[in-house]
Amino acid sequence: MSFIVIEGGEGSGKGTLMQALQTRYADERVVFSREPGGTPLAEEIRHCLLQPRDEPVASDTELLLMFASRAQHLAQVIEPALARGDTVICDRFTDSSYAYQGVARGLGAERVEWLEQFVQGERRPDLVVILDLEPALGQARIAGRLEPKDRLDAEDLAFHQAVRNAYLARAQQAPQRYRVIDAEQSPDAVFEQVMSAIQACRS
Ligand code: TMP
């Protein structure tokens, strides 16, 4: 039983990695999920959060909706899976709130900490893998994608630079729980390194 989170900015290869992990763990008791989202209600909150809209979204609203989605996801998916003894691999979790809302939106770590305590109690991931990539490189990688950018991905390069720095700063604070992987490497090399981090965490 382990709770593993994969984090990374746009173009970092998070989607490709999650697919490779799902294939690798297809026959094992591993639950894959994502945030915001992961249950029907939480997916509705995701849609509200990420859809581009004319009305400005207050940063506090954004933060609270992220944690509303998280509360539902924890109650319906993550906690029951861990209680059954399954491993959970989640595409994003609270480190995204620290990086995007706490730092890039400028809300500060204290409010995120407060909500983390309120919504999660003692629950923290056992391992957070950060796919680290220079944001300009990430943007170049996704330049050919057809789907429109979501409301947060559409922010400027300085915003994404702040997100990256925030991830790296969090990894430095608790190196035993984080594994920073150079996402400039090939998808295969990234997958191998992530697998060894996950295996060490599960053993
Ligand atoms: P993704 O799941 O497609 O990578 O995108 C989700 C978006 O939501 C991404 O721009 C990061 C953002 N996000 C936050 O800003 N705060 C959070 O707590 C989470 C989970 C995601």
For ligand 1, whether the C-beta of 11 sits within 6 Å is no
Atom of ligand 1 nearest to the CA of 153: 10
Give the range of the structural domain holding residue 191, as residue numbers without chain letter.
3-202
CA distances from 181 to 6, 21, 58, 60, 91 (A): 11, 15, 32, 31, 15
User: Can you say how many angstroms the Cα of residue 39 is from the centroid of all Cα atoms in its chain?
Assistant: 16
For ligand 1, whether the C-beta of 113 sits within 6 Å is no
Number of residues written out for the chain: 203
* 111 within 8 A of 89, measured Cβ to Cβ: no
pLDDT given at position 165: 98
pLDDT digits (tens, 9 = 90+) for 84-139: 999 999 999 999 999 999 999 999 999 999 999 999 999 999 999 999 999 999 99
Residue 182 reports pLDDT greater than 90: yes
CATH of the domain at 106: 3.40.50.300
- 1 pLDDT tier (thresholds 50, 70, 90): confident
Of the CA atoms within 13 Å of residue 136, those in its CB half-sphere come to: 1
Alpha-helix residue ranges (DSSP H) falling in the chain: 14-24, 40-50, 59-73, 79-84, 94-96, 109-120, 135-141, 157-173, 187-202
Cis peptide before 80 (omega within 30 of 0): no
For ligand 1, whether the C-beta of 34 sits within 6 Å is yes
Q: Is 96 exposed, middle or buried (0-12, 13-18, 19+ CB in 10 A)?
A: buried
- Among the listed ranges 24-38, 142-156, 181-195, which one has the minimum average pLDDT value? 142-156
Number of domain units in the chain: 1
Measured between alpha carbons, how far is 121 from 178 in angstroms, rounded to an integer? 20
pLDDT digits (tens, 9 = 90+) for 40-54: 999 999 999 999 999
pLDDT given at position 56: 95
pLDDT given at position 68: 98
For ligand 1, whether the C-beta of 46 sits within 6 Å is no
Closest residue to atom 16 of ligand 1, CA basis: 97
Dist. CA 109 → ligand 1 center (Å): 17
For ligand 1, whether the C-beta of 33 sits within 6 Å is no
Dist. CA 105 → ligand 1 center (Å): 13
Dist. CA 37 → ligand 1 center (Å): 10
- 164 pLDDT tier (thresholds 50, 70, 90): very high
- 149 pLDDT tier (thresholds 50, 70, 90): confident
Atom of ligand 1 nearest to the CA of 35: 20
User: Can you say how many angstroms the Cα of residue 115 is from the centroid of all Cα atoms in its chain?
Assistant: 16
Of the CA atoms within 13 Å of residue 28, those in its CB half-sphere come to: 15
pLDDT given at position 203: 80
Mean pLDDT of the chain: 96
